[in-house]
Amino acid sequence: MASHRKSRPTGTRVAGIRTPALATAALTSVALLSQSANAAPAADDKPSLEEVEKKVDDLYRQAESATDKYNAAKEKTAKQRKRVDTLLDDVAQRTQKLNEAREELGSFASAQYRTGAAAPDTATFLLADTPQDYFDQTQLMDRMTGRQKVAVDDYVTQQSETMKKRQEATESLETLTESQGDLKTAKATVQRKLADARELMSKLTAEEKARLAAIEKEKREEAARKADELARQQAARQQAQEEAARQQDSGTASSGSTGSTGSGSSSSTAPADSSYATKADKALAFARAQIGKPYVWGAVGPGSYDCSGLTQAAWKAAGVTLPRTTYDQVNAGTTVPLSQAQPGDLVFFYDDVTHVGIYIGNGMMIHAPKPGTYVREESIYYDGESAIHSVVRPA
């Protein structure tokens, strides 16, 4: 009984006390109500379809960022391995020369011993850890012939250079081990992000997947509308430039020598544009030939690509070498406004520059989108206008 209630006379039935059966029923009701109350928030905690879509997109972006780190680590590992192999070959060659120099010094010592001209200093020199200490002693140098001095100098040089190269090789091996660790970490990160994305998608019902497909369709339609708008703006700008050029040509044709100067200036810019267009055509032809091939993270062709692997291979076909990763490719050319984008330009996405496509004109691009998709043509607004980071002209 609660302490604030007044006591009742003995023998009177207290209304607040129930029989055991009634008490059990009451407790059961409370438990059921409690379960119902707890179940409701669980249903509310289930993410909406839009939240699932955003989470999956974020995971794919994170995987793409990790892929760039993987690509960079892989490239660094390959370079470091090549350097280590070169250094080890160099060390082997220098060790051979060192042994030859040591043998020549040994022959001098043997000859001195047989003729009885050997000096204790010579034997000590050959056994010393730091022979240079003995070279500075005038009495030893005086007893050496010119040929012997050359042999000693050669031995010291070979010993010093060999020790230096061995140290470089050791440091390069340590760097290689570190690069291999980075490569392993980046690979594990990519795999984890992709697995998380697949798990989220696998939990969707058929109805939810259908709704998600409808949302994606709406996004594609909006992206296509934005691409058409950009195409009209670029066409209007091109028309205005051509009209201005015609007016300039008309004005300079009747201005005598002044017109010749203007004509020369105009022709000097044409070859550069023509040269870029020629290279861009080759890059685009290559990119179009890859349409339908699967996206595979870390791939550079010929059977599959990731985003930067595709753009690198496309421009390589045009004779232009691009770096491997998106965050290096973004610095491998001249940044231009989106309104002035030309076919062949690289379009980069997101603040962390984790995606890239090659512009084909009219607001469209060819790119390798993400795991589970194929190389395709798509609007540069496929993920909204705010996703576009910059446009770079690589050649």
> Which residues make beta-bridge pairs with 359?
365
DSSP for 237-274, written as a single string = HHHHHHHHHHHHHHHHHTSTHHHHHHHHHHHHHHHHHH
Contacts of 300 (CB under 8 A, 6+ apart): 306, 309, 312, 313, 324
User: In sequence order, what are the residues at sequence separation of 6 or more whose Cβ sits closer than 8 angstroms to the Cβ of residue 200?
Assistant: 52, 55, 56, 59
Per the annotation, the verdict on 307 as an active-site residue is yes
Q: b/e for 120-133, b at 16 or more Cβ within 10 A?
A: eebeebeeeeebee
C-alpha distances out from residue 321 to 81, 244, 279, 291, Å: 22, 35, 12, 21
Q: Looking at 193, 293, 367, 389, which residue is catalytic?
A: 367
- Cα 59 from chain centroid (whole Å): 16
Catalytic residue among 69, 355, 370, 393, which?
Answer: 355
Which helix (H) or strand (E) is 168 found in, with range? Answer: helix 146-202
| Contact partners, residue 46, CB within 8 Å, separation at least 6 | none
198 is catalytic: no
Q: Is 201 a catalytic residue?
A: no
Rounded (5°) CA angle 30-32-34: 70
The sign of the torsion formed by the CA atoms of 24, 25, 31, 35 equals positive
Q: Which of 324, 322, 387 is nearest to 69 (CA)?
A: 324
Out of 284, 299, 307, 392, the active site residue is 307
Residue numbers annotated as active site? 307, 355, 367
